């Protein structure tokens, strides 16, 4: 008899309108980025999508929150605070609180970390260091992070991908900071709320370099206006390089070494097995909670 498949709920953080704009720019949705990462690690997983930004009845027909072995909330172009949120944001906070109530493990990145922090009693604010975009440099594990199962097999210091204005300014009570860098003091955290357990990161382990490059191009005028790139040509050169390095297991191989060094991009970003280690470890955590364990 085969082991039961993991049932994973992936929550789309953007509205349908925002996703249409992303599609026009050649980007898939943020939920689909996570679905691809889950399928890479666990092809047999039963993945369902939810769209709370657009409607209150966000769950797929015929399922309840308690049916899932884990839930994931990735990125969004929305903004969340402890109070004064728009309906499309409040619905996501309510959904996360409901997940905590029924004890479904939750993984979040960027927007997902921020929404979970607010749902658990924390807060979010604009980063005083401005926008972090592209390569998220020198993410450094705390002692707690180095011992935490999400980071099993991950270097103590690594680069990832990121795009955010906001960051968690106050964590829920009892939370532990797992990682930080020079831009954001909370690059990863874990906490428990009610019956729920949350693992989250501010960066995007689920993003491919291609997705990151297309997002940067989508926001191209803003990127130049904010001084992230001196001009459109510089932005195009960098994003062209990202597209060339996407999925390369060894970026320092002869054919890509010069480009990788110029962009400062290594295998912890280009190689999905290294970049997505946090996701793989979370899936293993979810599988370990099932009566019949599923091994990656």
Based on the residue annotation, tell me whether 110 is a catalytic residue of this protein: yes
Q: Domain-by-domain residue ranges, the chain?
A: 7-206+276-288, 209-267
Instruction: Point out the catalytic residue in the list 110, 136, 276, 286.
Output: 110
pLDDT along the chain (296 residues), means of 10: 79 96 90 96 96 90 93 96 93 97 98 98 96 97 99 98 97 98 98 97 97 94 94 96 93 92 94 96 93 46
Task: Quote the pTM value.
Answer: 0.94
pLDDT at 174: 97
Residue 32's closest CA among 10, 14, 16, 54?
Answer: 10
- Residue 10 has a CB neighbour count (10 Å cut-off) of 25
CB 277 within 8 A of CB 153: yes
For residue 204, indicate whether it is catalytic. yes
Measured between alpha carbons, how far is 209 from 247 in angstroms, rounded to an integer?
8
Catalytically annotated residue among 27, 88, 132, 204: 204
Active site annotation includes 44: no
**Strands ordered across the beta sheet of 176-180:** 46-50, 7-11, 70-73, 106-109, 196-201, 188-193, 176-180, 132-141, 157-164
Q: Which CATH number fits domain 7-206+276-288: 2.40.50.140, 3.50.50.60, 3.40.47.10, 3.40.50.880?
A: 3.40.50.880
Spatial neighbors of 202 by CB under 8 A, at least 6 apart, are 109, 110, 113, 136, 162, 164, 167, 168, 184, 186, 187, 188
**C-alpha closest to that of 288 among 6, 46, 68, 48:** 6
- 206, 276, 278, 286: the catalytic one is 206
């Amino acid at each position: 008899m085969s082991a039961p498949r993991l049932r994973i709920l992936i929550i789309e953080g953007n509205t349908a309108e925002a996703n249409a704009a992303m599609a026009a720019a050649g980007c898939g949705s943020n939920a689909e980025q996570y679905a691809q990462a889950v399928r890479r690690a666990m092809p047999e997983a039963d993945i369902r999508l939810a769209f709370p930004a657009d409607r209150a009845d966000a769950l797929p027909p015929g399922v309840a929150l308690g049916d899932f072995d884990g839930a994931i909330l990735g990125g969004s172009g929305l903004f969340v605070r402890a109070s004064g949120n728009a309906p499309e944001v409040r619905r996501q906070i309510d959904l996360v609180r409901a997940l905590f109530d029924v004890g479904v493990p939750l993984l979040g990145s960027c927007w997902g970390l921020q929404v979970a922090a607010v749902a658990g009693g924390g807060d979010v604010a604009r980063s005083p260091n401005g926008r972090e975009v592209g390569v998220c440099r020198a993410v450094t594990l705390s002692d707690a992070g180095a011992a935490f199962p999400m980071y099993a097999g991950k270097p103590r210091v690594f680069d990832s991908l990121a795009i955010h204005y906001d960051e968690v300014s106050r964590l829920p009570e009892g939370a532990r900071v797992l990682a930080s860098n020079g831009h954001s003091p909370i690059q990863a955290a874990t906490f428990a709320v009610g019956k729920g357990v949350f693992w989250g990161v501010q960066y995007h382990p689920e993003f491919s370099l291609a997705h990151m490059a297309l997002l940067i191009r989508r926001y191209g005028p803003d990127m130049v206006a904010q001084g992230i790139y001196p001009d459109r040509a510089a932005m195009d050169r960098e994003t062209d390089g990202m597209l060339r390095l996407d999925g390369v297991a060894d970026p320092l191989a002869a054919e890509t070494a010069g480009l990788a060094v110029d962009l400062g991009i290594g295998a912890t970003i280009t190689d999905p097995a290294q970049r997505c280690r946090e996701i793989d470890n979370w899936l293993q955590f979810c599988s370990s909670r099932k009566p019949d364990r599923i091994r990656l």
